[in-house]
Chains A and B, each alone.
Chain A
Amino acid sequence: MKKTTVMENKASEKVVDDASLWFDSRQMEIQDYEIPEDDDFLNISDLENEDLEKEEFEPEKPITKKDILQNLNRIELREPTARLIISLMDVVFPLLFFAFFKVDKNLCRLDKEEKQILLDAWCQYLATKEVEMSPGMVLLSSMLTIYTAKLGMAKLLTKKDNDDDEA
């Protein structure tokens, strides 16, 4: 707790210092300068050694209603995304435990409280890391994960049945 307070103080001191320096600078005179002459300033030959090519950067685009809706959609998707991740984990991990350690998969499933803890943690993580998933990506990844897990499980059970038959 003490450590946090110290860090906050340091941060605010730094801000105040830089701000005061900026304000102090406004009171100072600018160093001596030349008065430009119309024709001698933009001499393109000066550029040969300067390596100042025209820059590429993102031009300003007007924000459309579609952009706003898309961004809102992405922000609002954080909780459903976290919920989906947990549901998938709740399917995939018990299957993996069953496949590798031969434990009852129903015993490895999450209860309501554990799901809530993980949901909060995932929401925090997605918000902090600014993870943005489009609805299409959420749909595709959930389908892929569920069906891959189901396929793995089906193969495993088929193999087990075959082994039993052979025995």
Chain B
Amino acid sequence: MTMKRKTELNLVVGVNGTGKTTFLEKEVLSKYKKALVLTPDNSEWKTLPVVRADELKFFNGIGKMIYTGPEILTTISRRFYGGALILDDALAYLNEQTPATMQYIYIRRRQFGIDIYLVAHGLRQIPPKAFSFASWLILFNTVENFSSRKKEIIPSLYDSIIESQQRIRNRVLNGEPYYKEYILIDSQIKSLYAKGKGEANR
């Protein structure tokens, strides 16, 4: 019996050239039958076919949409389901979204079976609330000071992020430019996984 899991909000953070796109291509897009990349830059994700808004409801496979305005994400939230949605360079357009769209990203995605990958260049650019709803932080090398977020997220998580950030910096300095770490934010995932494993073994 295949184990089932709830959908996830993954925060993928790292400066340019740290391997975020390669990671998303190899470890994310290749694992899904259905995935959509939303990018503000037409020159990115060149190998992916462009999906039109009217094709979205019956779309299957891997494709991309170019962000031209807030209505694009509204359309996606009404028509896309059962796959991965990669919001590439998300902070370039997230602040233009309505509360309803933010609610979709944080909560309603579960109802429609969507894993979201929110991609950003720096930790400080992630909206504070995103940490409350996130499942994972996949952290690549970052160069900013994250201390302004200290009061906005729980201390143990903050400490864990800072430790990882420092470890990643050291590994990058020691010749591993694409080193990254996976930080579990939603601890329920671990207990559900353990429970699922236990049931599967019975």
A-side interface residues toward B, CB under 8 Å? 11, 15, 18-19, 21-38, 41-42, 44, 46-47, 50, 52-55, 57-60, 130
**Which single member of A15, A31, A32, A54 contacts B99 (CB below 8 Å)?**
A54
What residues of chain A lie closer than 8 Å to B69, measured between beta carbons?
Answer: none
B106 and A15: CB pair below 8 A? no
Interface residue stretch chosen among B44-52, B59-67, B180-188: B180-188
Could you show 30 A-B contacts with beta carbons less than 8 Å apart? A11-B167, A15-B182, A18-B182, A19-B181, A21-B190, A22-B136, A22-B138, A25-B5, A25-B189, A26-B31, A28-B3, A28-B4, A31-B5, A31-B7, A31-B113, A32-B4, A36-B79, A36-B80, A37-B78, A41-B77, A41-B104, A42-B104, A50-B107, A52-B99, A53-B99, A55-B102, A57-B94, A57-B127, A60-B91, A60-B125
A18 to B3 Cα, complex, angstroms: 18
B150 within 8 A of A: no
Query: Contact flags (1/0) for B97-111 with A, using CB distance below 8 Å?
Result: 111111110111011
For chain B, which range describes its interface: under 10, 10 to 19, 20 to 34, or 35 or more residues? 35 or more
Interface residues of B in 107-124 (CB under 8 A from A): 107-108, 110-115, 120-122, 124
A92 to B111 Cα, complex, angstroms: 66
Known contacts A18-B184, A33-B82; decide if A55 and B127 are in contact (CB<8 Å).
Answer: yes
| Min CB–CB distance A100 → chain B (angstroms) | 37
A26 to B121 Cα, complex, angstroms: 23
B-side interface residues toward A, CB under 8 Å? 2-8, 27-28, 31, 74, 77-82, 89, 91-92, 94-95, 97-104, 106-108, 110-115, 120-122, 124-129, 136, 138, 145, 147, 163-164, 167, 181-184, 189-190, 193
A35 to B184 Cα, complex, angstroms: 28
A50 to B100 Cα, complex, angstroms: 10
A11 to B162 Cα, complex, angstroms: 13
Known contacts A21-B184, A60-B91; decide if A38 and B78 are in contact (CB<8 Å).
Answer: yes
